[in-house]
Amino acid sequence: MKTSPKNIKGVMEDRLPKKVVQALKAAGEVAEGMNYSAYLVGGLVRDLLLGVENLDVDITVEGEGIAFAEKLAQRLSGRVKGITRFGTAIVTLRGGFKIDVATARREYYERPAALPTVQKSSIREDQFRRDFTINAMAIKLNPGEFGKLIDFFAGERDLKRGVVRALHKKSFLDDPTRIFRAVRFSERYQFKIDEGTKDLIKQATNLAMFDELTIERVRDELVLILSEENPARAIKKMAELHELKFIHPRIKLNKQLRKLLGNLEEVLSWFRSSFPKEKPSPWLIYFSALLRGLTLKEARAACQRFHLSRKDEEKVIKGKEGVSRKLRELGKEKPRPSQIYLQLESLPLESLLVVMARASRIVRERISLYLRELRRARLKVTGDDLKELGLRPGPKFAELLKKTLIAKLDGSLKTKEDELNYVKMNISRMRR
Ligand code: CTP
């Protein structure tokens, strides 16, 4: 392990916005004045070398991180926020630009997956506690050495070869979220996961422990993976590395799930091109797909274990509950538009897209009709019109409006007058 003498100041100046380079130079000068060393670390270093845009500035200092953050904020007329007992803080600049500051530290874990206990240390130790070699490079910021690439673990070589490699054997036990991060980076950059690292992941899937805090962080990682460009491929990779059992022991990448994933890709690409303004959460859709083989009760338990919001849990459940029956109804010969509407109206968009991915070609067309037209159908008569006709708001009121909408969907009411006449006819029937 040697320190690379390479200097990438030129790359920084070429690829980063001027404002960021100036802030980094200022950080180096502030550190120098305090007799500290400051380094740019983490994802930005990796992406800078890859030529990928990233503006998440993480600075680690050998010294007192918080005192440094305060001086840096003064120098750049910014503010310090979010100070933690781990020696981290955020410097926010005018215009909302943020710099994350940390104190170089060595974390040791009293038990696997526990909150780290922090000790101040050198940049080398700080980098050694990180997840992968490609994320464990630093760039020195002090004047005179500005731009010097610090690469103790051959991260640059792995970047060039396209390899995700853990830094040490205990990495995944220290932090089980890394089991998913490996897949995320490998997917994002189309990198291979090093064979030894794959073995460590598989071992960790049997040994790693999840306390409540870790579960939430695992959920956050899952959300990120399933929000990257090709979630289906990521899921296949997770399956190869035995990671799916972390989500639920009964999730298997079997024929049914493979087919669903393939169909989802088609359905989502159709949906995105047809409705570019609507943004259903892809992660929730793929998370629902993963739970396809579970019972409703198991799916609910999985959602609760990952502390999904109530709303998200409902979306998952609605993409499962009674779906076979709905698909049967929708598959019947020549359904009326209102029949299609009534089967689908209660489904949130994400659930609807999962249902669509499970549907036959003909049913998909019917769902597509719902998405393109039926769900947007609105009456011209309003609640006020009904009040003028002497009706008081209440369940009957809503029932009547719905009945009118159904008649409209099926094409028998064209104008507002048609609607009003229909309403009046029904009122007199109700009164009879
Ligand atoms: N890190 C780690 N283990 C984790 C999470 C983060 O070692 N479980 C380290 C890595 O060095 C990473 C840095 O903290 O580069 C910043 O973490 P994060 O912002 O999550 O990742 P990025 O690498 O910046 O990736 P992204 O581009 O997805 O933000």
Query: What is each CA distance from 86 to 57, 60, 92, 272, in whole angstroms?
Result: 18, 12, 19, 43
Is residue 361 domain-shared with residue 395, that is, in the same domain?
Answer: no
**Per-residue tokens: 335:** 């359904």
- Give the total number of structural domains in the chain: 4
Cα–ligand 1 centroid distance for 42 (angstroms): 6
Kindly report the CATH number assigned to the domain that includes residue 345.
Answer: 1.10.3090.10
Kindly report the CATH number assigned to the domain that includes residue 19.
Answer: 3.30.460.10
**C-beta of residue 192 within 8 angstroms of C-beta of residue 160:** no
Cα–ligand 1 centroid distance for 43 (angstroms): 6
Cα–ligand 1 centroid distance for 136 (angstroms): 9
**Ligand 1 in contact with 211 (CB < 6 A)?**
no
pTM of the model: 0.86
* SS3 sequence of 292-360: CCCCHHHHHHHHHHCCCCHHHHHHHHHCCCCHHHHHHHHCCCCCCHHHHHHHHCCCCHHHHHHHHHHCC
Is residue 278 domain-shared with residue 183, that is, in the same domain?
Answer: no
Is residue 230 domain-shared with residue 367, that is, in the same domain?
Answer: no
**Ligand 1 in contact with 43 (CB < 6 A)?**
yes
Amino acid occupying residue 224: L
**Ligand 1 in contact with 105 (CB < 6 A)?**
no
Question: If you write DSSP's letter for every residue of 233-294 in order, what string do you get?
Answer: HHHHHHHHTT-HHHH-TT----HHHHHHHHHHHHHHHHHHHH-TT----HHHHHHHHHTTTS
**Ligand 1 in contact with 42 (CB < 6 A)?**
yes
- Chain segment 51-76, per-residue pLDDT in tens: 999 999 999 999 999 999 999 999 99
Is the per-residue pLDDT at 394 higher than 90? no
Cα–ligand 1 centroid distance for 304 (angstroms): 26
Is the per-residue pLDDT at 365 higher than 60? yes
| Alpha carbon distance 103, 119 (integer Å) | 9
Cα–ligand 1 centroid distance for 172 (angstroms): 14
3-class secondary-structure state, position 164:
strand
| Alpha carbon distance 133, 194 (integer Å) | 11
End residue of a domain, out of 133, 161, 189? 161
| Alpha carbon distance 130, 126 (integer Å) | 7
Is the per-residue pLDDT at 334 higher than 80? yes
Q: By mean pLDDT, which of 4-18, 155-169, 277-291 is the weakest?
A: 4-18
Nearest CA to ligand 1 atom 3: 131
**Ligand 1 in contact with 221 (CB < 6 A)?**
no
Is residue 234 domain-shared with residue 314, that is, in the same domain?
Answer: no
Cα–ligand 1 centroid distance for 44 (angstroms): 10
Q: Which domain holds residue 400?
A: 383-431
Residue with tokens 């080398």: 124
Is residue 368 domain-shared with residue 424, that is, in the same domain?
Answer: no
- pLDDT band of residue 3 (cuts 50, 70, 90) is very low
Kindly report the CATH number assigned to the domain that includes residue 223.
Answer: 1.10.110.30
